[in-house]
């Protein structure tokens, strides 16, 4: 009997136990029965967390697009693979069938080849949520090029850093993007970025907003005529199981983002398996994940996971507030969505609006609703349960990371009883542990500590592009022989997990991971700034917002402080993107430091969060006197 589709709690425990006792047999059976391979593996798993080195399905050969597209053509050619819902509700939705998807992906793959892209080359994709984004991702996979999708809300500087880090040969972009009532000049951002990216030889441009843009001769080409002229047949490149499929950047504790490298076979098997179970996907369902493909959630659960299951996946270009706050609910009614997957920040924002926006629409098609990206607070959980799921749809609070490739801790709907704010139990194959301050595993159910995973699962990122040492240092050094997640968690008496949040220098704002270091670097570039420290503080909608403590070079700085605040946020917008702007900026006479000169963020965090009664001992600081002053001037 296949373990592929879990249907009740007893079966979950049985399957889970097997996946721990015999992980290789467990994953081998799933890989064998549910995917097409050009050559079988010689060995299921080879791993060593001390190096670290992880290989799944060693020496197997495959192409992920054969699994996501070709194999469905015979039975599902006319089924909608991607349902494109445009920003403007008056623009008709597009039902892109598996047949059409195959045609478009092959055409784009041929265009890439014609532009010299070969197996192993990196292609940067900087596109809004339009069908070309999915085609571009799959076209790269078709020919074995490594895609690096950069979220199209990042600034030109952030884009350039990512292009340079992985030496991309090509950028695929569009003339612009729609975002609610606004439009954004994406091509202009790319042009600016490419001034410092010599590796890029060609730029393919999709037309979306029909704006007047500059095309650089010899470098830039319109995508449409090239695709129209290209053949709709393209033999898939035969890839090794461990060949890189993509690079996706995520924030870290230093300025340079980490290019997480995901490989082919394990990623495919794991995202497909988790999609099937965590959404209890059945033939005929219409699945909608509102994330952007620029993030891991979009890679794994808009593109690869759903398509590997032959599902219909919605690609939504718009925002939850346009043309009004009923948009999500309108789309659910319109397309009879069965599974809906979104972020707590969106839920909180919509919960603040008039309830009539939700009540106006028929949401009775929904079977499962999901949450991802940050801890969901109790109030938001209940609002979601009451008003969207109408208390009849299980909420899957899915915990995972860019680095994990797929969900690791999550309820299985209609199987795992849920408790608000708990991600509940590990999925099959996942072995979470909690560690104490001394690096020891905390045994027994009731516990709180740092969340680590002690055994590899198929979709774990294999390295950081060009920096294996940093990979080892960041994830495998804090606790010997364990993958360290950077999150804290609590385990209750029944073994359920509740993620408490980041324990490192990453702050999650509206579901976006932001490292404090790059933001501080951006601020410090301002000529009036001497030093800065960023911390997070709780925010009703965003989850966390950013609080900046900034000292100026000259205390008598003549600009008025509001102007200075604007300039600083402008710099952040240019260097990173508007998502990293500070909500509060307090100019201080100094920053609290240890005697060795290290900024004490812990103290600043307490001040920003207004937890000033529990600051602990500050007498050992180099400059305890500044703390009083910062407290008094708190915003």
Q: Nearest approach, Cβ of 577 to ligand WTA (angstroms)?
A: 15
Note the maximum CA span of the chain. Answer: 75
**Residue number with CB closer to ligand WTA (351 or 499):** 499
Query: Where on the chain is the footprint of ligand WTA (CB under 6 A)?
Result: 250, 295-297, 371-375, 397-402, 423, 485-487, 499, 502, 508, 513
What does the alpha-carbon distance between residue 417 and residue 496 come to, in Å, rounded to a whole number?
Answer: 10
563-568 contacts at long range (C-beta below 8 A, 24 or more positions apart): 564/526, 564/528, 567/526, 568/523, 568/526, 568/529
Which residues are CB-neighbours of 427 under 8 A, at least 6 positions away? 274, 277, 278, 407, 408, 409, 410, 412
How many residues are there in the chain? Answer: 635
Q: In what order do the strands lie in the sheet with 432-435?
A: 432-435, 447-453, 483-491, 497-502
**Residue 447 CB, nearest distance to ligand WTA (Å)?**
17
Whether the CB-CB separation of 231 and 110 falls below 8 Å is answered with yes
Strands 122-125 and 80-85: unpaired
In the complex, what is the shortest distance from the CB of residue 486 to ligand WTA, in angstroms, rounded to a whole number? 6
As to burial, measured by CB atoms within 10 angstroms (0-12 exposed, 13-18 middle, 19+ buried), residue 218 is exposed
Burial 231-242 (b: 16+ CB within 10 A, else e): eeebebbebbbb
CA nearest to 503, candidates 448, 461, 453, 462: 448
Alpha helices in 116-204, H assignment, sequence order:
131-143, 156-165, 186-194
Nearest CA to 200 out of 223, 172, 230, 158 is that of 172
Is residue 372 classed as helix, strand or coil in its secondary structure? strand
Q: Concatenated DSSP letters for 324-365?
A: STTHHHHHHHHHT-SEEEE-HHHHHHHHTS-THHHHTS--TT
Residues 142, 487: Cα–Cα separation, whole Å: 35
User: Which residue matches tokens 């991309």?
Assistant: 168
Cβ proximity of 256 and 14 under 8 Å: no
- Residue with tokens 């900046």, as numbered in its chain: 548
Look at residues 345, 374, 373, 604 and name the one whose alpha carbon lies nearest to residue 501. 374
Nearest-approach distance from CB 223 to ligand WTA, in angstroms = 28
Give yes or no for a contact between 25 and 433, defined as CB atoms under 8 angstroms apart.
no
**Torsional class of 346: left (φ above 0), alpha (ψ -120 to 50), beta (otherwise):** alpha
Distance CA 272, CA 466 (A): 28
Question: Which residues face 555 on adjacent strands?
Answer: none
Report the chain's terminal Cα–Cα distance, integer Å. Answer: 61
Distance, CA of 22 to CA of 68 (rounded, Å):
28
């Amino acid at each position: 009997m296949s373990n592929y589709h879990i249907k009740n709690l007893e079966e979950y425990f049985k399957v889970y136990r097997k996946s721990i006792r015999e992980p290789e047999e467990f994953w081998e059976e799933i890989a064998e029965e549910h995917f097409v391979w050009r050559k079988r593996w010689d060995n299921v798993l080879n791993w060593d967390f001390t190096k670290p080195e992880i290989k799944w399905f060693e020496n197997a050969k495959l192409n992920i697009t054969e699994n996501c597209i070709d194999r469905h053509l015979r039975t599902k050619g006319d089924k909608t693979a991607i349902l494109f819902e445009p920003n403007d509700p008056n623009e008709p939705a597009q039902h892109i069938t598996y047949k059409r998807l195959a045609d478009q992906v092959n055409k784009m793959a041929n265009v890439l080849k014609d532009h010299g892209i070969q197996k192993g080359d990196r292609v940067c994709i900087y596109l809004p949520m339009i069908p070309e984004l999915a085609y571009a991702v799959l076209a790269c996979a078709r020919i074995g090029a490594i895609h690096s999708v950069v979220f199209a809300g990042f600034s030109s500087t952030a884009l350039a850093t990512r292009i340079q880090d992985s030496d991309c040969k090509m950028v695929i972009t569009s003339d612009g993007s729609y975002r609610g009532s606004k439009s954004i000049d994406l091509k202009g951002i790319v042009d600016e970025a490419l001034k410092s990216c010599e590796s890029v030889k060609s730029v393919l441009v999709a037309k979306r907003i029909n704006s007047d843009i500059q095309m650089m001769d010899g470098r830039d080409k319109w995508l449409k005529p090239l695709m129209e002229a290209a053949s709709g047949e393209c033999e898939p490149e035969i890839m090794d199981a461990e060949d890189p499929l993509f690079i996706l950047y995520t924030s870290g504790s230093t300025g340079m983002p980490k290019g997480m490298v995901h490989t082919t076979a394990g990623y495919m098997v794991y995202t497909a398996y988790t999609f099937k179970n965590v959404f209890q996907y059945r033939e005929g369902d219409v699945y909608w994940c509102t994330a952007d493909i620029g993030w891991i959630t979009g890679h794994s659960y808009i593109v690869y996971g759903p398509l590997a299951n032959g599902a219909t996946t919605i690609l939504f270009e718009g925002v939850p507030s346009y043309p009004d706050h009923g948009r999500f609910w309108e789309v659910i009614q319109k397309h009879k969505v069965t599974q809906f997957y979104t972020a707590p920040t969106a839920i909180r924002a919509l919960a603040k609006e008039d309830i009539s926006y939700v009540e106006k629409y028929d949401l009775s098609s929904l079977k499962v609703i999901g949450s991802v990206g940050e801890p969901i607070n109790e109030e938001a959980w209940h609002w979601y349960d009451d008003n969207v799921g109408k208390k009849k749809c299980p909420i899957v609070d899915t915990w995972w990371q860019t680095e994990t490739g797929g969900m690791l801790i999550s309820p299985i709907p209609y199987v795992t009883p849920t408790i608000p704010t708990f991600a509940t139990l590990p999925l099959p194959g996942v072995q979470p542990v909690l560690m104490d301050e001394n690096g020891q595993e905390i045994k027994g159910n009731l516990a709180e500590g740092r969340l680590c995973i002690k055994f590899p699962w198929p979709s774990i990122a294999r390295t950081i592009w060009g920096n294996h040492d940093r990979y080892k240092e960041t994830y495998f050094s804090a606790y010997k022989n364990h993958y360290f997640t950077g999150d804290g968690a609590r385990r209750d008496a029944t073994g359920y997990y509740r993620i408490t949040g980041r324990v490192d220098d990453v702050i999650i704002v509206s579901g976006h991971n932001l490292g404090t270091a790059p933001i501080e670097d951006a601020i410090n570039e301002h000529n009036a700034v001497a030093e800065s420290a960023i911390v997070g503080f709780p925010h009703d909608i965003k989850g966390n917002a950013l609080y900046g403590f900034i000292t100026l070079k000259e205390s008598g700085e003549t600009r008025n402080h509001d102007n200075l605040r604007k300039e600083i946020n402008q710099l952040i917008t240019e260097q990173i993107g508007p998502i990293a702007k500070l909500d509060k900026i307090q100019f201080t006479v100094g920053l609290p430091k240890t005697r060795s000169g290290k900024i004490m963020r812990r103290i600043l965090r307490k001040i920003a969060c207004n937890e000033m009664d529990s600051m602990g001992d500050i007498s050992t600081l180099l400059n305890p006197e500044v703390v009083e002053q910062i407290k008094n001037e708190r915003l």
